Structure 1
């Protein structure tokens, strides 16, 4: 890896600022001041800036229990971003693995491993995502039977050309449902219940594939274990 790129990967310096730092004699490799940005370095070299050793950040895999009022987008809008809750070096490099709406709570995965993210989100892998849904109106009797059947067969949502993939609906109470999806269309849970004449008042994602929130408190996060990463 070029030394200027290494500096960009391990600090907040841009490529141009990294080159200026080298020209000022601020960067050393194995104790020798280096001014050539094209100098090749790897994990065997000790690179320092202002005398402080630098180290590349490896791939990260994070689970977060997202609170309401936090966005999963890459750029800040009206609300804080999920990555701002993660206390790791260069959190700006973490991308959400699928998104939750700003008012939806629960399990969010973040990583800087694009291939792993694709494996988790690809519909072909049928990675089940379980949601706890609070409804405005009770869903009981024949209406419930029709909903279970319709969700299992797939619904054609407004603006879509293909019906939803089969989903499993289980009622915990008259107004609280557990819904398992195997895809991630835009606002899908809310649109599915709207299609059967109901309204979602609260939405919480409990699990993605084999990963569940467990005892992770709202707003807290943790890195995934090697086994959890390999599960996808």
Structure 2
């Protein structure tokens, strides 16, 4: 084995696990595990010490064992219903992962993946969906997918259909809602003293708005609507990037197929 060179005191160095995550190779947790297993090579040198620092321009390669493990990781799409939380159980409410059972699998799943209990291990939500919201929720074992969908650097857009009322009016809301307020929803609002990124907000019909966002602050759409006098009575996420909810029935799930990508 070639000796590991110590770059720890060199300016501009990064922890190897952090760099691997930033490059989209895997999650920080996965990187630490693979480093401990000796599955990461830097400029051809096998690294097995946690906390190792490297230069950003060094070549990082994965051992075939890490690549094989990555290929076994699955991503699951759920049509979440009201009353389920995205992550850990809270306040007596069940997490959405409890919907992932063989009985709840959509018969239209064309992925060809055979269900395994191992697919439930380390399965985590890649983004939130409020307990009182429905629609597309992504659970994944793959740190690359989580990195792509979650965090301030994610450029993946998300589409929502939102039923609203305005000033007690529940029909033909579009006719009564000021155009200037719709423009504010698109750009100009702040949450927690931070300006929101531009959004696409259009009327789907007289009582329903279509939101397309490139960020995901907690309860963002509901809070945006409150700022302009709208009350949300129904919120459904129908698309994340290039993956749509489609015909997936409420309360059921399917695997992300090999030919699909966000």
TM over 0.5: yes
Equivalence map 1:168-183=2 (5 Å): 168-183=200-215
User: TM-score under structure 2 normalisation?
Assistant: 0.61
Which structure is larger by alpha-carbon Rg, 1 or 2?
1
Per-residue Cα deviation, 1:57-113 (whole angstroms, up to 9, x for no partner): 931101110111111122354112111111241425210110111110000000011
Q: 1:30 maps to which residue? A: none
Q: 1:185 maps to which residue? A: 217
Question: Aligned partners of 1:183 and 1:103: how far apart in 2?
Answer: 19
Q: Quick check: 1:107–1:207 contact (8 Å CA) kept in 2?
A: yes
The reply on whether 1:119 has 2:133 as its aligned counterpart is: no
SS at match of 2:226: helix
Per-residue Cα deviation, 1:31-54 (whole angstroms, up to 9, x for no partner): xxxxxxxxxxx98xxxxxxxxxxx
Question: Aligned partners of 1:89 and 1:59: how far apart in 2?
Answer: 12
SS at match of 1:199: strand
Q: 2:14 maps to which residue? A: none
Q: Assess, with a 3 A threshold, how the Cα gap between structure 1 residues 110 and 128 changes in structure 2: closer, same or farther.
A: same
Count the aligned residue pairs: 176
Q: 1:152 maps to which residue? A: 186
User: TM-score under structure 1 normalisation?
Assistant: 0.69
Question: Aligned partners of 1:142 and 1:149: how far apart in 2?
Answer: 14
Question: Aligned partners of 1:107 and 1:118: how far apart in 2?
Answer: 18
Question: Aligned partners of 2:221 and 2:212: how far apart in 1?
Answer: 10
Q: Quick check: 2:154–2:215 contact (8 Å CA) kept in 1?
A: no
Runs of 4+ aligned residues of structure 1 deviating over 6 Å after TM superposition are: none
Report the alpha carbon displacement of residue 192 of structure 1 after superposing the two structures with TM. 0.4
SS at match of 2:161: strand
Unmatched segments (≥5 aa) in structure 2: 1-63, 102-115, 167-171
Q: Quick check: 1:57–1:89 contact (8 Å CA) kept in 2?
A: no
Cα RMSD after superposing both structures? 2.4
Unmatched segments (≥5 aa) in structure 1: 1-41, 44-54
SS at match of 1:65: strand
